Structure formats: structure tokens, C-alpha cells
Amino acid sequence: MNIYNEIRHLIIEVIKNNIEGINQSTLDLITCEQPKNLKFGDLSSNALMILGKKNKIDVKSIEDVVISELNSKKLFEKVTYIKPGFINFTLKKSIWYDIMIHILKHNSFGFRNIGLNKKVILEFISANPTGPLHVGHLRGAVFGDVLANLMQKSGYKVAKEYYVNDIGNQIEVLYLTVKYHIENKLNKEHLKQPEEMYHGEYLKYIADEIIANEDYKKDKNLIKKIIIDKVLKLIRRDLNNLGIVFDNFISEKNIHEKGMLNDVIDNLNKKNLLFTGYLEKPKGIKDKDWKPKKQLIFKSSSYGDDNDRAIKKNDGNWTYFASDIAYHHYKVSRGFNEIINVWGADHAGYIKRINASLLALGHNKITFDVKLCQIVNLLENNKSVKMSKRSGNFILIDDILKKIDKDVVRFFMLIRKNDAHLDFDLKKCLEETKENPIFYIQYAIARINSANKFFTEKGLKFRGFNEKLFNKLNDNEIGLLKKLSLWPKVIENSVFYKEPHRVVYYLIDLAGLLHNYWSMGKLDIDLRVINENDNDVTEARLTLLNVISKVIRSGLDVLAIQPMEKM
């Protein structure tokens, strides 16, 4: 039950019945929201302002008829017009009763099938298999996983995918690094490790395992595969500890072996979109020795990219971009309607070229969307921790999860919008105060549970909620219901805009309102949840609290966070 959608549809119906010539694109701009100041009403719509702007209609000429017809509807206590074109609604109290009953009866309150079984592939993390996951991967990992949860619960068929870059220079460097450790161990030497190699104790352990269990003199490609498999095992461990399960791990090498890259090249060639030539010096390159080299180039600028792009280098090797074109072509070939990629903010410049490749290959009916996650600034002892994967100076996810519960980590990765910088303060995560939002949310559930326990220990039982009990609720308690009524809208907006942080913001607000309400009982005995002199008031308030708990639990479930029953 989404009261905002219901009233929006009602407004549009009234407009269609009374005003001719309003096109659908104008009607789509009409919104129905909760006003920032509830003194104006329970809901507010921009309907008349939109009609005035888009259809050049004199608002005064339609105001009376629209407001009059809306006032005749049984939903409303009052409908008023506010310049320059807002309609404010005050709902009848019985509507809030209906909403409360709906929440009590439906475990899926807030969710509806807006996805209509649309097939979505959501690719996230896709870190190179050169080491375990570190804090730089955390934000995109949690963001992608929670976005998948939101979409799945809203009627989309979502496949979560991890793309494994298991060919290329970084794999060669990984192989040489492990080879260096193997030779050092066998020759009992301590040669200085070349700077360009990867650093980290895990590489020594992999070398030791290969010495103990494998013929390290095997074919180079076989040893590479063994190394990659061992690194992927570390990555899967980290994912499991973070509560993330992927549907697919897709190998770049395997895509090449399937002939996807050849298909892409043939397709682009037939369309005369490839040529051999030279590209201008990339911006930001300061190398004085840089010289243009003949390369195979894709005319991506013909499809909205800023420049044409190389797909095959002068040395005969394919570029990363070529592989990415093949991978995205492979995504489409599997029948997905929508492609969503979660990337680091430093990949923003890559969006246009991938989109250009999809259009060039004829995949113009596919929805392609990229969500960028800004960097996480890890704070330890109030100091920023600098990291470098090559130097081995990076904080592993495994290290963080040994200090902080995964649920806390997941929550804090969504405490800011994905494209805003995020400070991840390890100390704050462990605080048990209202300054720690996840603690405050969990404490709300624990408080509600304690009230239920006190109720049952008194020998009292719930008799079944009805309108008589509902009428025992005061205006402040109805205000809590108004906040609960926003939950379906929060879910739909989180899915539509692909912004899981909206769920976190809502839970923080809802928990704050609950704690403020609870505190009133400390100041006024008549406002306590448990009213010793009136069982009806007690049951009404406890039922409201249990409805709040139900919505908080629903939100935590979206975030894949376990509610704490007592604290």
C-alpha cells in the first residue's frame, strides 16, 4: 500500500476528467510527496504548478474545479491550494488506521513488482585476481550487493556477476612475483624484490603452497592458472565473510576462448568502424619520449564518445577496452534487458566508450547504467590511512572484519550517497552511543522487544488490533505512522535512482523518531508505552511499536543486516 502513489493517480484522474489536451509526458511530472513541514498537510502535490508551466494553463481557471472534486473524495479531511501551484492534502484519520492494518497483515509492506521480471545483470567489484580484497573494494561491494537485494525484492531478476581479469600484464606480474618467492625459497636466497612486483605476505604463502603441492616447473600457463585460483579462493573467502554471494564469476580468458572478441571485431569491421592509424597524445601524459604509434582504432566518437579509442596496440596485443567490449557484448548475448556496472569514480571516463561500443554493435535496446562509488577514506586513530597495493601497504577486508562485525561494516558503507566521499572511522563503528547510527537503529529494536517482554510478563495478551484501539493513539503517535507510510516510496525511489543509501537514511530517521517518542515517557508518565492504568492504550502503543519494528527489520533485511534482539 503506497498512499502517495494512490493519491497521485487520483490527482491525475481528476485532471484528465476536467482538463482536455494534457499529454502523458506532462502528467508524468506530477509528484505527490510528504511536505517538509507537516503543518501544511499530510501530503503535497505540484500538479497545478506543472500544468501551469508545461501547458501554459492559467492555474486560477482550473484551481476551483480540481480542488472541489478532490475535496469530494472520501480519503481527505481537507484539500487546499497554495501558490504557486501546490495542492496540500490532510487525510482522514481512518486512512492511517488502514495503513497500520495493512502493515500488520503484510510482511512485504513497501515492496511491489515494479521490475516485472526484467532481467538485469549487475556487475560489481571485479577486482583483479592479484590479491585479497582490501578496503578500496568495500564500498562498491556492499553497494552492489544491496542494490541487487532491492531490485530482487522489487520484481527484477538480478544476476550478480564478478568479472575476472585473468589475462594481461597484471597477471604476468603476479606470476613473476610468485616465481620470485618460489626461487628465493628454494635457493635460500633473499634477493631484493623488484619494485614493479606485487607485495604482500599472501604471495609468499601461495609460493609455499605451490612448492609443497605442485610441480612448480609445470607449463607457465598452468602455474598462472593455479596462482589465479588460489587468489580467487582468498577473494571468495572475503566475499563470504562480508555476506556476499555472486551468481557468476566470468573469466576474461574464457570470453576470448568463446570467440566473443572475434565476433565483436568482425561486427565492427563490417560496419566500417575500425581503422589503422594514430591517436593524439592523451591528456595528462607528461612523458617527453611519448611518440604516436600505429594502432587498430575504433570510431567510438561516432557514437557519443569524446575520442576514438585504440583496441589493438602496436605490439599486437589487445587493449583492455577491446576485452571490455567483448565482455559487454557477452552480457547482451545472454538475454539481459539491463546492464548495471558499479565502478570506482576513477573509471568515470570509461562510461562513454562502453556505451559507444554497445550502440555500435546494435545493442540500442539495452539499458546501460553505471553507478560510480567514490573512494573510502579509512580513518584510524583520527588519521587517514594511505594505501598502495603494489607496495603491500593496504588494509585487507579480512583485517577489518576481525575488528568490526560485518553488519556494521555493511551499514557504514552506505552512510553516504555513492558519489560522495566517505570517511570510514573504525573507532566510531565500535561506539555504543546515538552517535553511532547502526547502534541506534539496533537499539530501537531492542527497546521494542523489552516493552513486549514487560507486557507479557504482566500476564497481558494482545487481543487483536481494531479501530477502537487505534483511536487511543495521540497525534504524535499518528506522526510515527506517517513516517511509516513513506517506506514504500523510499524503496521505489531507492530502486528507481539506484541509491541504496536512501534506505539507511530512512532507518536512521525512523529510529530517531522512535527514541524521541520513548524519551517522552520519561518526562510524562502518561506518555509511557506501558500505561499501568489503561490496557487499551498500552496495547495500541505496543502494536504501533511492533509495526515500527517490522519496518526497521524490513530495512535491515534489504541491507542483509541481522537485527539484534537485545542489547
Residue limits of CATH 3.30.1360.70 in the chain:
3-91
pLDDT confidence tier of residue 383, bands split at 50, 70 and 90: confident
Q: Is the pLDDT of residue 532 over 90?
A: no
**Average pLDDT rounded to a whole number, residues 59-67:** 84
> What's the chain's length in residues?
567
Residue 24 pairs in a beta bridge with none
**Average pLDDT rounded to a whole number, residues 117-145:** 96
Q: Is the pLDDT of residue 421 over 80?
A: yes
pLDDT confidence tier of residue 388, bands split at 50, 70 and 90: low
Residue 209 has a pLDDT of 93
The bridge status of strand 295-298 relative to strand 309-312 is antiparallel
Phi, then psi, of 301 in degrees rounded to 5: -65, -20
Residue limits of CATH 3.40.50.620 in the chain:
125-258+374-430
Q: What tens digit of pLDDT does each residue of 433-480 get?
A: 888 999 999 999 999 999 999 998 888 788 889 999 999 999 999 999
Lowest mean pLDDT among 359-363, 390-394, 405-409: 390-394
pLDDT confidence tier of residue 391, bands split at 50, 70 and 90: low
Architecture of the domain made up of 125-258+374-430:
3-Layer(aba) Sandwich (3.40)
The bridge status of strand 422-425 relative to strand 376-380 is parallel
Q: Is the pLDDT of residue 287 over 80?
A: no
Q: Is the pLDDT of residue 283 over 90?
A: no
- Fold for domain 437-559? Isoleucyl-tRNA Synthetase; Domain 1 (1.10.730)
Q: What tens digit of pLDDT does each residue of 300-356 get?
A: 999 999 999 999 999 999 999 999 999 999 999 999 999 999 999 999 999 999 999
Mean pLDDT, rounded, of the chain: 92
Residue limits of CATH 1.10.730.10 in the chain:
437-559
What spatial distance separates the first Cα and last Cα of the chain, rounded to whole Å? 32
Asked if 447 and 518 count as a contact pair (C-beta separation under 8 A), the reply is: yes
Say which residue the cell 583492455 belongs to. Answer: 320
Q: What percent of the chain has pLDDT over 70?
A: 99
Show the cell assigned to 26: 506532462
Phi, then psi, of 540 in degrees rounded to 5: -65, -45
pLDDT confidence tier of residue 208, bands split at 50, 70 and 90: very high
Q: What is the distance between the alpha carbons of residues 69 and 58, in angstroms, rounded to a whole number?
A: 18
For residue 514, the surrounding DSSP H or E stretch is helix 501-523
Strands (E), 182-308: 248-251, 274-277, 295-298
Residue 347 has a pLDDT of 94
Q: What tens digit of pLDDT does each residue of 554-563 get?
A: 999 999 999 9
Residue 65 has a pLDDT of 87
Q: What is the distance between the alpha carbons of residues 328 and 361, in angstroms, rounded to a whole number?
A: 10
* All residues at 6 or more sequence positions from 530 whose CB lies less than 8 Å from its CB, including other chains: 451, 454, 455, 458, 538, 542
Residue 19 has a pLDDT of 86
Cβ neighbour number for residue 420 with a 10 Å cutoff:
10
- CATH code of the region 3-91: 3.30.1360.70
Residue 56 has a pLDDT of 76
Q: Is the pLDDT of residue 39 over 60?
A: yes
What b/e string do you get for 102-118 counting C-beta neighbours within 10 Å, with b at 16 or more? ebeeeeebbbbeebeee
pTM for this prediction: 0.93
* All residues at 6 or more sequence positions from 270 whose CB lies less than 8 Å from its CB, including other chains: none
